[in-house]
Amino acid sequence: MEKQPLIQVSGLHKKFSSDLRRGLLHGAQDMWRDIVSPSRKNPGLRKGEFYSLRDINMTLYSGEILAIVGVNGSGKTTLMRLISGIYNLDGGTITSLPGLKLTAIFALSAGMQPLFTGRENIYIKGSMYGMTLPEIEAKVPFIESFSELGDRLDRPFGNYSSGMKARLAYSIAMATNPDVFIIDESLAVGDSAFKAKCMDNLREFVNEPGKGVIFITNHIRKILKVADRLLVLDKGSVIHEAEDVGAGLEFYINNCNKHLGAEMQKNKLAVIKSYEL
């Protein structure tokens, strides 16, 4: 059966300015250009600008967990923010299936109020995700049960450990019932039992028709456990794409992780081999 594309990215570019003041000026110029002559093309690089992403082509298909790896600063978060509509594109296109609902977790505390309890934050964050009050109320039992926070749900969010924040953030995001779920390193801090539960939950999630996950992490074991496909980003470009996730990770470690030193590279490759056995 042919795979159904949920999100298609083609020829995507994103540039930033390395100088904050100049960046603000360019932003104002871009806004003015969009108002007075929206058909005019985005200019190339101006003074102080650099490409954070260049000519990115990728597709997320229904039924898959797509992992994206890359060293710090390679452009992973920028790409996810563009797909989520948080940033404007400087070139290229992003096409989604009509009506597609996307939920992303970028930072565990984003939008959460530290003085309010976890339970109160369910309402705050849920409404930020666009849920109505009855929808949130209907999902509270799921969030209580999935997060396993028990009576800690009634303590101030600001006092939560990072693992507790991960439990609440993941459970609220899942309660939005998205079609595409983007997770940017947010599960790095949960304990291993919760991480394993999330991995199983993601697999169940993509088994439903029309669902897909984009997963950003550099955690090799997690990728090997859940990913169906792998993209390697380097210096703002996709340099490798693999359906054989183990082989893709080997490429990544051999080509992008030289700074780790030979011993560390060897250890990482051994982890991959042990999964392949």
Ligand X SMILES: Nc1ncnc2c1ncn2[C@@H]1O[C@H](COP(=O)(O)OP(=O)(O)OP(=O)(O)O)[C@@H](O)[C@H]1O
Among 78, 96, 186, 217, binds ligand X (CB under 6 A): 78
- Does position 186 interact with ligand X (CB under 6 A)? The reply is no
Least separation, in Å, of the C-beta of 233 and ligand X? 7
Q: Is 76 in the site for ligand X (CB under 6 A)?
A: yes
Query: Environment class of residue 59 by beta-carbon count within 10 Å: exposed (0-12), middle (13-18) or buried (19+)?
Result: middle
Answer yes or no whether residue 15 interacts with ligand X by CB under 6 A. Answer: no
Q: Which of 6, 9, 52, 146 lies at the binding interface for ligand X (CB under 6 A)?
A: 52
One of 66, 69, 70, 105 touching ligand X (CB under 6 A): 70
Say which DSSP state 202 is in.
H
Helix H or strand E segment including 244: none
Q: Which of 232, 216, 223 lies closest to 183, judged by CA?
A: 216
> Which residues, 6 or more positions from 244, have their beta carbon under 8 angstroms from its beta carbon?
none
Is residue 178 a contact residue for ligand X (CB under 6 A)? no
Tell me, by CB under 6 A, how many residues bind ligand X: 10
Identity of the residue, 52 or 96, whose beta carbon is nearer to ligand X in the bound complex: 52
Half-sphere exposure of 11 (CA within 13 A, CB side): 3
Q: Name the residue nearer to ligand X (CB basis): 15 or 139.
A: 15
Per rule CB under 6 A, is residue 121 in the interface with ligand X? Answer: no
259 binds ligand X (CB under 6 A): no
Shortest spacing between CB 154 and ligand X, in angstroms = 33
Q: Which stretch binds ligand X (CB under 6 A): 67-75, 156-164, 175-183, 245-253?
A: 67-75
What does the alpha-carbon distance between residue 127 and residue 253 come to, in Å, rounded to a whole number? 41
CB 174 within 8 A of CB 75: no
> Out of 73, 85, 158, 261, which residue is the one contacting ligand X (CB under 6 A)?
73
Site membership for ligand X, residue 72 (CB under 6 A): yes
Burial 95-114 (b: 16+ CB within 10 A, else e): ebbeeeebbbbbebeeebee
Nearer to ligand X, 32 or 50 (CB): 50
| Residue 75 within binding range of ligand X, rule CB under 6 A | yes
Q: Which range of residues in 66-74, 119-127, 150-158, 198-206 is near ligand X by CB under 6 A?
A: 66-74
Q: Does 27 bind ligand X (CB under 6 A)?
A: no
Does residue 217 touch ligand X according to CB under 6 A?
no
Q: How far apart are CA 264 and CA 106, in angstroms?
A: 28
Residue 236 near residue 51 (C-beta atoms within 8 A): yes
Cα separation, 27 vs 33, in Å, equals 10
Radius of gyration of the chain (CA): 20
Q: Kindly state the smallest distance separating residue 111's Cβ from ligand X, in Å.
A: 18
**Contact partners, residue 66, CB within 8 Å, separation at least 6:** 58, 60, 212, 213, 214, 215, 227, 228, 229, 230, 231
If the CB atoms of residues 75 and 118 are measured against ligand X, the closer one turns out to be 75
> Least separation, in Å, of the C-beta of 51 and ligand X?
9
- Interface residues with ligand X (CB under 6 A) are 16, 52, 70, 72-78
